[in-house]
Structures are given as structure tokens and as C-alpha cells.
Amino acid sequence: MVSLAQIRADRPGAFTHACPTRTVLDHVMSRWGVLVLCTLGEGTHRWSELRREVDGISEKMLAQTLRILVADGLVERESLPTVPPHVDYRLTDRGRELVERMLPLLAWIGDNADDMLVQAS
């Protein structure tokens, strides 16, 4: 397993205050970022499908999260010239690689969250 110290040794300044790695970490590991990315890991979705699948997300947060993930190159947005407008969202190759790495973390959280919260109370 790689440690944070090893990452920093290979990439001096990584995850320090002004480093771009912090910005990307914030985008990717936000509650909504994780859930949107992992939902898109299941395939292409339209806006309304994402809104249903990512339980609890507001329209504002979905729009903001998608805008950020598209700008970061993790999600591709395709607007089709139809009436009414049809927009599809899908992961880019980089987004798929990221989701493959995130899913084991989500599985671990799913397996352990109940026990952890019971112990904390």
C-alpha cells in the first residue's frame, strides 16, 4: 500500500494548501461528487435519471457538481439537438479509471457504516 508520505516524496508539494491536488480532491471526494461519479459508472444517464439515482441531491447541487466534473475532465456532457433538449452525461476514460478505484472504498463504507455508527453512539 502506498502512503501519503510516499506520494509526497514522488510529487513534492502534493496535497499541500495551494496545490491543485487539493482542489481535485475536494471535487472528487465531495459527497455529491462521489455519488454522481459512481452513478455514472453504471452507464450514461440523463439529468432526470441522475437526479433520481443520487437520492437527496438538489437541482442546484446536481448542476454545480456536473459542471465541476465536466470541467475536470471526468464527465462528458453531450447535448443532442432535439426538442425538448436532451443531454446525456457519461464518464470519460479518466472518470472510469477513477470510479474503478473509488468503488472498493464505497463497498467498504457500505459494509462498515452501520457498525461504526452504533459504536460511536
Taking the C-alpha atoms of residue 51 and residue 70, their distance in angstroms, rounded to an integer, is 17
Read off the pTM.
0.88
Q: Are 28 and 98 in contact (CB under 8 A)?
A: yes
In a domain, 1, yes or no: no
Q: Which residues contact 87 (CB under 8 A, 6 or more apart)?
A: 46, 47, 77, 78, 79, 80
**What CATH number is given to the structural domain containing 38?**
1.10.10.10
pLDDT tens for each residue of 32-46? 999 999 999 999 999
Residue 11 lies in a domain: no
The stretch 8-30 carries a mean pLDDT of 89
